[in-house]
Amino acid sequence: MQTTAGSGQQYVLALDQGTTSSRAILFDRRGQPVAIRQQPFAQSFPQPGWVEQDAGEIWTSQLAVARAVLREHGIAAGQVAALGIANQRETTILWERATGEPLAPAIVWQDRRTAAQCAALSAAGHDALFEQRSGLRLDPYFSGTKLAWLLEHLPGARRRAERGELAFGTVDSWLAWQLSGGREHVTDASNAARTLLFDIHRGCWDEELLAVLDIPPTLLPRVVDSSGVVARIDASWLGGDIPLAGIAGDQQAATFGQVCLAPGMAKNTYGTGCFLLLNVGQQAQASRHRLLSTVGWRRGGATTYLLEGSVFMGGAVIQWLRDGLGMIASAAEVEALAASVADSGGVYLVPAHTGLGAPYWDPQARGALLGLTRGSGRAEIARAALEAIAFQSAEVLQAMQQDAGQPLAELRVDGGAAANDLLLQCQADLLGVPVLRPQVTETTALGAAYLAGLAVGFWQDEAELAAQWQIDRRFEPSRSADWRQAQLAGWRRAVQRSLRWAEDA
Ligand code: ADP
């Protein structure tokens, strides 16, 4: 990446603390990334279903890349107008206030150890309460039951928590605590909204939810706006007291970075899974399709809400063609192979390898390859795999539009698989709306930078951000409504064959 760093120029530094790596990216006033550093860190899987990370390493890797990106590009702390954090969500850390020492490894969002506890809470009839207040489902994915697990299993933790000696935080809180030299214990509203402990409507921790999970309120961080100066960074870290001025969970940050700031705007990130988020405005929208209702960001005390749906196997289905079937040597190869045929010839690949998420929510569904004939070959299967990513995304978006009661005007896209033109054309055809790929696809980091930069006047307003969003390519729908319906009907027929498969065995 070319650096355009000059001695007087100002930048915003975004920390993108992801699940497998910590990244630091400097953005200039035009919203262009000018320098980037990345460092992976260790994951551990101590038992089936458990996923842990070393909280200390999350911090040290993040600090190392922040320092490196400034040093390598000759940028002084004084040239950094603000710092913003986008973070892997839901990952749960418990530390000692006096020393800043974590009591245990971080429990990562993917960790399923609290599945039985979630099932017990459901059986006790708590689903509706959690859904209405937090917008979430009782699932091990979210932080609340992970924190309850730590309190129950770490010797003395509950007693110490009740005495106010311990602090809980998601990764944003942990980084803010470290960056501020242990002076600030904060989280932004978008991260708070992923804990199962937060009332998304009132915008505060909820006493009743805390009581059900038996969480002492003394553990909790102060909830702050996603955009606003919350701390000065301890000068020993980056050589100056840069303001920490933006915080958001990674998917919310990406939605902000895609400038989906008005109701009805949506983005889809095509990574390992797909993450779809739709802006529904200043009122939370309950879902009738078991999508999540969540906080996008809070600015100036005003909350913007999103509907969120995810697809478990997005780009991962292409990985499976590569690693599981050995059909292609690289993910990028799938495009030419799929494009070598005009259509899949009636072949459907339902990538329910780990069950299906929204709108089916069937953990017992399993992957299926249907409609094979003697004419079906690698190309048809490759095409069916790409179409499966688009079909799954289309179904989530359809559910969102029904929940929100308004049609989608366009879809903004990012993530590794959004490099695939055939996939995006297929997505536009299935949705019947244009699909737009921006020039800057570092949308997660950009969103964190935007939230921080707005807070310190580096950028003036949302209109300025909207003007910066530049298109790389626009994919126009080229099929009729009848064609779309027929396609989706075929897909749904295929999905029906995969549902409850493991249960019947
Ligand atoms: P994550 O952040 O979830 O690790 P990325 O955004 O880096 O994921 O995207 C990687 C995913 O995108 C992989 O699952 C890979 O198979 C898929 N992918 C990468 N390039 C392409 C491509 N050209 N066509 C289709 N899928 C791709």
Q: Which atom of ligand 1 is nearest to 419's Cα? A: 23
Q: Does residue 451 contact residue 411 with C-beta atoms inside 8 Å?
A: no
**Ligand 1 in reach of 417 Cβ (< 6 A):** yes
Name the residue of 270, 274, 353 whose CB sits within 8 Å of the most ligand 1 atoms, as the mutation to test its pocket. Answer: 270
Ligand 1 and 5: CB distance under 6 A: no
- Look at residue 402 and tell me whether its pLDDT is greater than 60: yes
Q: Decide: 316 in ligand 1 pocket, CB within 6 A.
A: yes
77 lines ligand 1 (CB under 6 A): no
What does 107-122 look like in DSSP terms, one character per residue? E-TT--TTHHHHHHHH
Give the distance (Å) from ligand 1 centre to CA of residue 135.
29
pLDDT in tens, 174-191: 999 999 999 999 999 999
The closest residue, in CA terms, to atom 2 on ligand 1 is 271
User: What tens digit of pLDDT does each residue of 484-499 get?
Assistant: 999 999 999 999 999 9
pLDDT computed for residue 8 by the predictor: 67
- At 335-351, the pLDDT tens digits run 999 999 999 999 999 99
Between CA 202 and CA 133 the distance in angstroms is 9
pLDDT of residue 5: 46
CATH fold label, 259-438+470-505: Nucleotidyltransferase; domain 5 (3.30.420)
What pLDDT is stored for residue 215 in this prediction? 97
Ligand 1 geometric centre to CA of 418 (Å):
8
Query: What superfamily does domain 11-250 belong to in CATH?
Result: ATPase, nucleotide binding domain (3.30.420.40)
Write out pLDDT tens, residues 241-264: 999 999 999 999 999 999 999 999
Question: Which pLDDT score, from 0 to 100, does residue 269 have?
Answer: 96
Query: Using 50, 70 and 90 to split pLDDT, how confident is the model at 504?
Result: low
d(CA 126, CA 247): 30
Instruction: Return residue ranges of the chain for CATH 3.30.420.40.
Output: 11-250, 259-438+470-505
User: Strands 292-299, 266-270: parallel, antiparallel or unpaired by DSSP?
Assistant: unpaired
User: Which atom of ligand 1 approaches the CA of 318 most closely?
Assistant: 16
Judge whether 399 and 289 are in contact, CB under 8 Å.
yes
Sign, CA dihedral 459-408-392-321, equals: negative
Q: Tell how far the Cα of 303 is from the centroid of ligand 1, in angstroms.
A: 32
Hey, whose CA ends up nearest to atom 13 of ligand 1? 315
Interval between CA 27 and ligand 1 midpoint (Å):
24
140 CA to middle of ligand 1, Å?
A: 25
Amino acid at position 370, single letter: L
For residue 357, the model assigns a pLDDT of 83
And the tokens for 329?
A: 């040597």
Q: Hey, which of 16, 17, 318 would you mutate to test ligand 1's pocket, going by the most ligand atoms within 8 Å of its Cβ?
A: 318
pTM for the predicted model, two decimal places: 0.92
Task: Give mean pLDDT, residues 124-152.
Answer: 95
Q: How far is the CA of 314 from the centre of ligand 1 (A)?
A: 8
Task: Tell me the CA–centroid distance for residue 282 and ligand 1, in Å.
Answer: 33
CA-proximal residue: ligand 1, atom 8 (nearest): 271
Q: What is the pLDDT of residue 4?
A: 46
380 CB within 6 A, ligand 1: no
Q: Which pLDDT score is estimated for 342?
A: 95
If you average pLDDT over residues 292-298, what whole number do you get? 97
User: Residue 414 CA: which ligand 1 atom is closest?
Assistant: 6
The Cα angle at residue 412 between residues 444 and 454, in degrees rounded to 5: 45
Instruction: Report which of residues 2 and 215 the model is more confident about.
Output: 215
Whether ligand 1 lies within 6 angstroms of the CB of 21 is answered as no
Residue 7: pLDDT band by 50, 70, 90 thresholds?
low
Q: What are 416-471's pLDDT values in tens digits?
A: 999 999 999 999 999 999 999 999 889 999 999 999 999 999 999 999 999 999 99
pLDDT at position 70, please?
Answer: 96
Dist. CA 292–CA 200, nearest whole Å: 12
Q: Which of 39-48, 290-299, 389-398, 451-460 has the lowest mean pLDDT?
A: 39-48
Task: Give the residue whose CA is nearest to atom 7 of ligand 1.
Answer: 416
Residue of 370, 394, 388, 392 whose CA lies nearest to 320? 388
What is the average pLDDT score of the chain?
94
C-alpha 23 – ligand 1 centre gap (Å): 18
Residue-wise over 107-135: b if at least 16 C-beta within 10 A, else e?
bbbbbebbeebbeebeeeebeeebbebbb
